[in-house]
Each structure stands twice: as structure tokens, then as C-alpha cells.
Structure 1
Amino acid sequence: MQSRNTVQRQIVLQTVLQMHNHPTADNVYAAVAAEHPSISKATVYRNLSQLALQGEIRRVPVPNGADRFDFNTSEHYHVRCEKCGAVFDVHMPHISNLIEQVEDASGVEVQRYDILFEGICQDCRAKEA
């Protein structure tokens, strides 16, 4: 079923496209509400989910934390800092045959995947030093 492309959905999409820091839904809502105070939090959350389902943005699941949203929908990996919670893109070549390797090893037909590495970012390591 095709969903309607509403003005609110376009506002949420444009907000995520302008945010290059892998925002949470709350971050997106705060940015949207600053410019459009009449849009509810539920509307922002619903539109984020719909945009991710449609592939216009990418949902980055974060174990034990709030999911993040990414304007970059190409295949790439993420890393999350265990100290400050920031999520970053990993700038490395995509492993092209990873799905085939997993399918061959498990017998499962992979539909989608997300890889999230965890560690301590440069800024947090510098603060500790």
C-alpha cells in the first residue's frame, strides 16, 4: 500500500537530510518543533518510521539505546561511542559478499542487516588522556 506524501513527512525528511549526526527521533522532533511548533511528537515519530520503511532514510538500531536515523541510505557501517553515545559512519569499503557468506554459512536468506561497532571515539579518548 502506497502511503501519502504529506507536508509533515517532507518536513521530517528535510530535517533528517540536514542533520549529519545520526539523530534520535527526539533530536529530529526538537529540530522540527523549533521551526514548526504545531507538529506533534507522534507525527514526527510516525513519519520517521514511514520514511525508513520506504527507504528514504535509514534507521540505525542501537542496542540498549534510542534508534538513530541516517540520511545516507547506501550500504555502510556504523560505530557507536560507549562513552558519549555518538554514532558515526565507518568510512571503509562495503564488504560486497558478506550476505552471500552469511547465507552460505547459515542457510538463511538474508533480507536486511545492520552492523554497529561499539568502542570509544577519539574525542572521549582524548578527554581521558
Structure 2
Amino acid sequence: MIRRNTIQCALVLEAVNKLRCHATADEIYDVLVQEHPTISRGTVYRNLQRLCEMGEIRKREIPGGADRFDHLCSNHYHARCVKCGCVFDVDMEYIADIEKFIKDTHGFEFTGHDIVFKGICPECKSKT
């Protein structure tokens, strides 16, 4: 099936690229609805999924939090603030073959990995 580019899809991609903050679907919707009050939450969710499938953005599953959408599609690691929940990129080389160091695989066939470090962001740290 050929999918055509829609204005809504372009708006969602533009919002993700503009935010550059690992936004949740709800945060992306909140930004879009300010300028486009007729856009529905469902439209935003569908287009986020579509953009992920097209490889334009990446969905980042964050343990203990909502999925985030990343404008960077390259493999990289993240840190999540345990106080405010914000997600940040980590400046660290991606270890592509880290799975080879797993000793007990329990029969798993590993297809990749995501690592999210935990900590306290500078803004939250300054409040304490």
C-alpha cells in the first residue's frame, strides 16, 4: 500500500524536530493543538506511529514513564531524571555488539538494546 504524505504527518514531524526534547505523544499534541485546534489526539498518535515506521523519528520506550519520540534516529543512549522525568541524550559511544557479553541468554535471540541511565538533572539538582 502506498502511503501519501499528509499535512498532518508533516506537522507532527515538524513538532518533533522543533521540540528536540524526547517529547511524549501528549506533549507533541499539546504543542500542535495550540496552532491547529482541529487536530485530534488520534491523528497525532497515528502519525507518530507512521513516522516511526518510515524511520523519520524513533520511539524510545522509557521504563517507568511514557514512551518518548526522538528526532535523532541514530543509536544512542539516554538518561532519565528520577525527579522530573525529563529524558536527555547521553554523550557516550554506542556499543553495537554489547549483546555478545551476555553470558546467560535463557534462550533469547537478542535483536538490539536500549539503555536508559537514571540520575538527577541539573535543574532538579539546583532546586535541592
**What is the TM-score of this pair, normalised by structure 2?**
0.87
Q: State the Cα RMSD in Å.
A: 1.8
* 45-54 vs 24-33, greater mean Cα deviation: 45-54
How many residues are treated as equivalent by the alignment?
Answer: 127
What is aligned with 1:13?
A: 13
2:74 alignment partner in structure 1: 74
- Secondary structure of the residue aligned to 1:3 is coil
Alpha-carbon distance in 2 for matches of 1:84, 1:56: 27
Q: Give me the whole-angstrom Cα distance separating, in 2, the residues matched to 1:31 and 1:118.
A: 27
3-state SS of paired residue (1:80): strand
Greater Cα offset, 49-58 or 85-94: 49-58
Equivalent position amino acid for 1:97 in 2: D
CA deviations on 1:30-68 (whole Å, 9 max, x unpaired) are: 111112111111100111112112221111112232111
Output the CA distance in 2 between the equivalents of 1:55 and 1:28.
Answer: 18
The CA distance in 2 between the partners of 1:56 and 1:17, in whole Å, is 10
For 2:111 and 2:96, the matched residues in 1 are separated by: 15
Residue number in structure 1 paired with 2:60 = 60
Do the aligned partners of residues 54 and 112 (structure 1) sit closer, same or farther apart at CA in structure 2, a change above 3 Å counting? farther
Q: 1:112 to 1:47 in 2, by over 3 A?
A: farther
Greater Cα offset, 80-89 or 117-126: 117-126
Shift in CA distance, 70/108, structure 1 to aligned 2, threshold 3 Å: same
Cα offset for 1:109?
A: 3.3
Q: Which blocks of at least 5 consecutive residues in structure 1 are unaligned?
A: none
Equivalent position of 1:45 in the other structure = 45
Identify which range, 54-63 or 22-31, moves more after superposition: 54-63
Call closer, same or farther: CA 1:42–1:123 in 2, change over 3 Å. same
How far apart, CA to CA, are the structure 2 residues paired with 1:98 and 1:4?
38
Which deviates further from its counterpart, 3-12 or 77-86? 3-12
Separation in 1 of the partners of 2:8 and 2:76? 28
Post-superposition offset of 1:111: 2.8
Give the structure 2 partner of residue 91 of structure 1: 91
Task: Give how far 1:105 is off.
Answer: 5.3
Relative distance call for 1:56 and 1:100 in structure 2 (3 A) is: farther
State the AA in 2 paired with 1:38.
T
